[in-house]
Structure 1
Amino acid sequence: MRFRRPSPVVVDLVVVAVALFDIWVNVDPAEPVRLGCALGGAVALLLRRRLPLITFLLALPAVLVSDAAFATLAALYTLASLTRRRWLLAGCALAFTIADMAPWPAPKFDLSEPSTLITLSYTAATAAAPVFLGQLVQARRDLSLRLAEISEARDHERLLTAQTVLAKERAQLAREMHDVVSHQVSLIAVRAGALQVGTQDAEVKEAAATIRRLSVQTLDELRHMVSVLRAAGGRPTELTPQPSLAELERLVSGSGIEAELQPDLPDGLPPTVQRAVYRTVQEALTNVRKHAPGASARVRIHRQGGTVRVTVTNTAPTRPALPLPSAHYGLVGLRQRAALLGGTVTSGPTADGGYELRLELPAAGS
């Protein structure tokens, strides 16, 4: 039986209940200031998922005036599991340590006493525990996301490999049909035509005409089948529409990342130029998703004089990228495609830690 995780609302209510129990054990109801600060920290835990830092700040006074520390520790754990700012976590842990070591209204903080140093070490360790636990949960969450992305990428790669093998087999079959079968059927049609012209026998003439007609029909069907197989094998034919600029919006919206498209191109660009632009944007967005997790991208396409310019820029990644297997052929293929059309592809990092890929092509193609 698979364990079902409780809903976040139930978890939050349980955390608040534990914080109230901590107040009931450690705070005297006859002290309204201490009781009010402790209750405020416990109630603030309801905001910990949306406003973790504010929740910690609201719960911190409870540690300063009382011994009810659970709410503050829970808020510190939530903050550590949601933020990536290490300096903020260090400051919050230090604030908890100071508040716990210097209780209000009569702080006692004498470092000359050995017992004070022992208490300080214990309090600092208590503050560090939820920080480390929260960072561990955050790392586990990031790792789960990356593993899901890797699994999706492998499935996609496996599908592409299967499609490539199938395309090669179909292309080979198309060549065999064109070079062997079509040639032999053509010979049959020619010989049948010669027999039809050369014979005087009416029955033989009719049979030859039938053979010739059926051979011509078979040739037409073979040509159609060859064109279908070549189209399935990756040949650019009318049966396999190649990507154009009209499909860029769907490509960007379905890229799986936050991307903005800024197209400014006239109609009538050659199909080869449109395909090169499409493939460049496709490869750039794939690289952003693979090597810059959490980054956003901007795709700008415009025509300046007789040159089409494409710029794909992404921001710095928000999560560390895991090393993935790659043959590094993507950019090489883009450069080769651009060179065949008389253009260039350049790429490199940006000043803010992102990356930029630029394509320049003659608008008329090559």
Structure 2
Amino acid sequence: MNLGRLPAPLVDGALVGAALADTWVYVDIGDRVAMACALLAALALTLRRRLPLTTFVLTLPTALVTDAVFATIAALYTLSSLSRRRVLLAGCALAFAACDFLPWPWSSVRPAELTRTPSLIQLIYTLATAAAPVFLGQLVQARRELSLRLAEISEAREHERLLTDQRVLAEERAQLAREMHDVVSHQVSLIAVQAGALQVGSRDSETRRAAATIRQLSVQTLDELRHMVSVLRASGGRRTELTPQPSLADLRQLVAGSGIEAELETDLPDDLPPTMQRAVYRTVQEALTNVRKHAPGARATVRIHHGAGALHTIVTNTAPTRPALALPSAHHGLVGLRQRAELLGGTIDSGPTADGGYRLHLELPAEDWPNHE
């Protein structure tokens, strides 16, 4: 068991109890001076963490007048584990050895007895007893400092790894920004230019309207691309302001600029939670994009209402009137919408209708909103 993980009051209480037991074994209850010194030493152990040197000084008399030296050894160990002053520790160890070796009262000491072999052995034993808690305390202090150094090294390595990851990410973002600026933006610009030329040069009104829609969407896409490039080029430096997130107030503009014949029906308030507003907007945006790509000439209807404790967004379109062009697609649109709906606790259903069209239904829980039907 690691004593360092035990609560400090529990450890201190155990040491005081051991010191009192040591007193009960080695101190005569009738010797008031010895008993007072031993009790003082035992109680002084409660101060060993805050005042280690004072605690050792208070425990030293019991080593002089009694054989109960547990409190003094514990105090010396604590002082050694907390202090870096080796001269002080050596002096404390010698003081403890002297108090433990010399009999009390000192007047009973006979110089001739100190030269006898048993006395020399006792002196060596006393010095070893005094040195042991010092060495052990220094060892514990070194182990604690080593653990702190290892923790600092691990933290430094983790910080270095994070910096490396950020540098790699910044390089990838810069490369992606260059690709978007040099390739995607250039091609979208050409689309906008060609659409503008077609709008001006065509005599057919329907073709001019289609060209105007293409040009408008191309210009809007270019603006979004430029902002995305600026965000990518920031690369974790200064904070770049993000584009304002769409809300229900932007739905009519989205439907009007979709490039298809679409109708919007909604009676929702404008104070819905922003997350729900974004989910509705992105769902309608993806649905109208799919109609424009996969059902040319179809008409779309967007209905958004609240009922039965849920918010319903339904986008339906009629059958296409002309064949769809083969356009590249990663088929991630509906997957992303379904994931967004699941995060809000909702569902998305989609599928063909009986008349050859298509229907997409987003349902989000909204029990806290009043029924506007």
Normalising by structure 2, what TM-score? 0.59
* 1:120 equivalent in structure 2: 123
Matched, 1:6 2:9: no
Q: Is the 8 A contact 1:73 1:127 kept in 2?
A: yes
Distance in 2 separating the partners of 1:208 and 1:193: 7
Per-residue deviation, 1:186: 1.0
Quote the residue 2:32 is aligned against: 32
Question: Which whole-Å CA distance do the structure 2 matches of 1:121 and 1:99 have between them?
Answer: 14
Tell me the residue number matched to 2:178: 175
Pair 1:147 & 2:118 matched: no
C-alpha separation between the residues in 2 aligned to 1:119 and 1:187?
101
Partner Cα distance (1:43, 1:112) in 2: 37
Structure 2 CA distance for partners of 1:174 and 1:194, relative to 1, 3 Å: same
Structure 1: unaligned runs, 5 residues or longer: 241-366
8 Å contact from structure 1 (residues 29, 35) kept in 2: yes
Is the contact between residue 227 and residue 237 of structure 1 (CA under 8 Å) also seen in structure 2? no
Q: Which has the larger radius of gyration?
A: 2
Residues 235 and 43 (structure 1 numbering): CA distance in 2 closer, same or farther, change over 3 Å?
closer
2:241 matched to which residue of 1? 239
Change (3 A) 1:235 1:134: closer
- C-alpha RMSD of matched pairs (Å): 2.4
Q: Give the drift of 1:164.
A: 2.3
Other-structure match for 2:187: 184
CA contact (8 A) 1:66 1:103 kept: no
Which whole-Å deviations, capped at 9, do the CAs of 1:73-108 have from their partners, x for residues lacking one? Answer: 111111111111111110000001111121221235
Q: CA 1:32/1:48 → structure 2, altered by over 3 Å: closer, same or farther?
A: same
CA distance in 2, matches of 1:200, 1:23: 113
- Does the residue aligned with 1:103 lie in a helix, a strand or coil? coil
Counterpart check, 1:96 vs 2:96: yes
Contact 1:97–1:123, Cα closer than 8 Å, also in 2: yes
Give secondary structure in 2 for the equivalent of 1:35. helix
Preserved CA contact (<8 Å) 1:109 1:116 = no
TM-superposed deviation, 1:115: 2.9
Q: For 1:226 and 1:31, how far apart are their aligned partners in 2? A: 89
Letter in 1 for 2:121: I
Q: Paired residue for 1:195, among 189, 193, 198?
A: 198
Would you say the 8 A contact 1:34–1:66 is kept in 2?
yes
Percent identity of paired positions between Structure 1 and Structure 2: 68
Distance 1:2 1:49 in 2: 18
The residue that corresponds to 1:281 in the other structure is none
Deviations 1:208-245 (A, max 9, x none): 222222211111111111112222x24557439xxxxx
1:126: Cα distance to partner? 0.3
Distance, in Å, in 2 between the alignment partners of 1:10 and 1:237 is 51
The one-letter amino acid paired with 2:201 is: G
Aligned equivalent of 1:136: 139
Mapping for residues 1-366 of structure 1, pairs under 5 Å: 5-105=5-105, 106-108=108-110, 112-231=115-234, 233-234=235-236, 236=238, 238-239=240-241
| Structure 2 Cα separation of the partners of residues 52 and 107 of structure 1 | 31
Partner residue in 2 for 1:335: none
